[in-house]
Amino acid sequence: GDGAPAGNYGYSSSGYSVYEEENDRLTESLRTKVSAIKSLSIEIGTEVKNQNKMLSEMENDFDSTGGLLGATMGRLRTLSRGSQTKLLCYMMLFSLFVFFVIYWIIKLR
């Protein structure tokens, strides 16, 4: 009578060991994947912070460019009230030149 339970106990213990090893292997695989996801999420967070900083700087640049363009347009309106069409034409060309230079500078950043 004692031989049969001992044999069954040995069989289930080896089966348990196989399941335990499989469980350990899967746990280690899961741990590796979680670690990779953690490092990836940290890198994404860093990239988001850098992109937000760059967007903030671009917003400041566009605000200053808008102010400059607004002042130039105000001067052009003042000039357009007079009869100096040649000077007005030169001012328009100059403002377009300045606009394209600023656009080019922003584009290179």
Residue 2 within any structural domain of the chain: no
Tens digit of each residue's pLDDT (9 = 90 or more) over 17-70: 888 999 999 999 999 999 999 999 999 999 999 999 999 998 888 888 888 888
The answer to whether residue 102 is domain-embedded is no
User: Do the domain assignments include residue 56?
Assistant: yes
| 96 is a domain residue | no
The tally of domains found in the chain comes to 1
Residue-range definition of the domain harbouring residue 59: 14-82
Is residue 109 in some structural domain?
no
Query: Where do the H-state alpha helices sit in 1-109?
Result: 3-80, 85-108
Q: What is each CA distance from 81 to 49, 70, 78, 87, 109, in whole angstroms? A: 48, 17, 6, 12, 38
Is 21 inside any structural domain? yes
Name the residue with higher pLDDT: 13 or 40.
40
55, part of any domain: yes
Residue 24 lies in a domain: yes
Q: Output b/e per residue, 27-53; b: 16+ Cβ within 10 A.
A: eeeeeeeeeeeeeeeeeeeeeeeeeee
Residue 44 CA to residue 64 CA, distance in Å, equals: 30
Does position 1 have pLDDT exceeding 50, yes or no? no
**Residue 33's pLDDT is what?**
96
Instruction: Find out whether 98 and 72 touch, Cβ atoms under 8 Å.
Output: yes
Say whether pLDDT at 101 is over 70.
yes
Q: What is the mean pLDDT of the chain?
A: 82
